[in-house]
Structure 1
């Protein structure tokens, strides 16, 4: 049995096919734990759901219940990598256990009130978004629409709930390792483009740790291209250049690794490298790249807890600021 052409199946269609009431369909589809539905009836309803391809109208459910169970996550401007993918997948699972559904929104460009209007049309209970996509007025717009906002930020935001990633700590941990193995002149790669802000924070963490130890540091701006990596490698290998480099992450580390190899540099004897994120590419290189590992599962757990707490509070209070970046764990390999 098919619904009318061009029309999405409704709960009424499911009820007719399963020979039950619409309320029974609702109880089965929503898996209401207190409902006393005979197993045969439940199976009949689920079979009708599968046959018709029925999916509940989430926005309509929100209008009836007063709130949705959607958590909207607009994709960040920065490129995704396996660590971020793992975090998103685990976050989706943890939210599902709490009766929430994570919906990833593919528009990476919209910002401010224009973005907020688009997100509000989907009627989410909450939006999880990077700070560069939001303004004070856009957060206010979403709250007026009944949507809470949790921002992922590099520093506290006075007008919104925020999860703060302490990026300086990543650079400081890289510096601690390189200083411990004897290096006194360190460099930090700072990516150009959308990653630059985060890169500068990581470089700041390295610089502070290096200067506290009475050593030297510098920054090298690098694009994610072979030509830019070649220029960065030449800067590293200049007379009196740094003997160790924190490469921002493993992808930039791989580019610099190749460029240094092209110059005949021996790692770690001539120059030591440490990346971050512990991506698979780090182990593919020869010599293998040392890397700082961030636990994406632990980060997802922190994010889920913050979202639940935000949605469960009775009224909006002072903005919540929570640090979610666990201590980076150094995975020491052959380049350091």
Structure 2
């Protein structure tokens, strides 16, 4: 073991790196933090980096945060909804884009805590920004975080008067499905509303479909469905009844796949007997035959909007009023064979 790191169990420090590289601790800090315009000669930089590699040195992030009063962390508490391809892809792109801005995305595993209890837990990590669903926040909790030097960017169905918001109205997804189905001639619509934990978001999407149908003078009904083959068969029977809907918005592509199979088992052809439109544009939509039309949300667009909002929050004057409002994503209908 190298002499500068001989103490049993002791993590290497910047002083160890400095001794091994033959430089000052301030030089180590400038190199490790890649400080712009630091004018460190390349041979010196190479020696420091070689010492970092040899010793396995990692900067003490908590100490850096204490000195700065905050961090370069963007904290994202996990949403209450189950994670899926859309969320995972968005998080991946967001992490990459924030990294390009010198920020680090930290996904927080707690899904349930809300209000000031959640705010205190998040504030302990000293993030620069918390990016979170509005239902996890209250006006006092946002104020608590801002007093701690942390900005809060909420995802909400509509702008929130007491905090920075990116608008993400699930109803717009149902409305996009309705616009397409009405445009191709359907005059009896239905929406699948999932039971269980997804019912809230399913209801919001179904309401978007219903509102668009109502505006067009077209009847629209809800069909409750569990994510099982048995429930999908029952939903298919409701769709296939005399006078039933000629087109169904299936909440998402996974529920769409279940209903697609159940309708096929009952002898229905798509889109001749009934049209289907899913949502989220998951890979499964293209595996089906006929392939499932779907309302898509672009994860790259969502990551771009989040990153832009975070940057604008960090660049505005301290203690200034909330100013960020914008739309997180624009739904786009991807037409395939079922509609």
**TM-score (norm: length of structure 2):** 0.93
Task: Return the match for 2:158 from 146, 155, 159.
Answer: 155
Structure 2 alignment gaps of length 5 or more:
none
**Correspondence for 1:332 among 316, 320, 335:** 335
Relative to structure 1, is the Cα distance of residues 131 and 195 closer, same or farther in structure 2, using a 3 angstrom cutoff?
farther
Match of 2:181 in 1: 178
Between stretches 122-131 and 231-240, larger displacement belongs to 231-240
Equivalents in 1 of 2:112, 2:6: separation in Å?
37
For 2:84 and 2:93, locate their aligned partners in 1 and report how far apart those are by CA, in whole Å.
14
Q: Which of 202, 211, 215 is matched with 2:205 structurally?
A: 202
Deviation at 1:289, TM superposition (A): 0.4
Deviates more, 1:117-126 or 1:198-207: 198-207
What does residue range 1-336 of structure 1 map to in structure 2 within 5 Å?
1=2, 2=5, 4-320=7-323, 322-336=325-339
What's the offset of the Cα at 1:273?
Answer: 0.5
Q: Offset of 1:318 from its aligned partner?
A: 4.0
Mean alpha-carbon deviation: is it higher for 296-305 or for 259-268? 259-268
**Deviation per CA, 1:218-244, whole angstroms, max 9, x where unpaired?**
112223233332222222222221111
CA deviation profile, 1:150-196 (whole Å, cap 9, x unmatched): 11112222222111112222111111111121211101122233332
CA contact (8 A) 1:117 1:142 kept: yes
- Equivalent pair of 2:193/2:203 in contact (CA under 8 Å): yes
1:69/1:100 contact within 8 Å kept? yes
Deviations 1:187-206 (A, max 9, x none): 11222333323222221221
**Residues in 2 aligned to 1:167 and 1:215: alpha-carbon distance in whole angstroms:** 21
Distance between the aligned counterparts of 1:194 and 1:111, measured in 2? 17
Structure 2 counterpart SS, 1:54: coil
Query: C-alpha separation between the residues in 2 aligned to 1:323 and 1:197?
Result: 23
Question: Secondary structure at 1:221's aligned position in 2?
Answer: strand
Q: Alpha-carbon deviation of 1:317?
A: 4.0
Q: In the aligned structure 1, how far is the partner of 2:249 from the partner of 2:198?
A: 15
1:312: how far off?
1.5
Tell me how far apart the structure 1 counterparts of residues 220 and 80 of structure 2 sit (CA, whole Å).
29
Misfit runs of 4+, over 4 Å: none
Unaligned runs of 5+ in 1: none
Do the aligned partners of 1:166 and 1:323 also contact (CA within 8 Å) in 2?
no
Contact 2:270/2:290 (8 A) holds in 1: yes
After superposition, give the CA deviation of every residue in 1:95-134 in whole Å (9 maximum; x if it has no partner). 1222211111122222222222221111101100112222
Across the aligned residues of Structure 1 and Structure 2, the Cα RMSD in angstroms comes to 1.8
Greater CA deviation, 272-281 or 56-65?
56-65
Deviates more, 1:184-193 or 1:276-285: 184-193
C-alpha contact 1:71 1:124 (8 A) present in aligned 2: yes
TM (norm. structure 1) is: 0.94
Find the aligned partners of 1:107 and 1:229 in 2 and give their Cα distance. Answer: 32
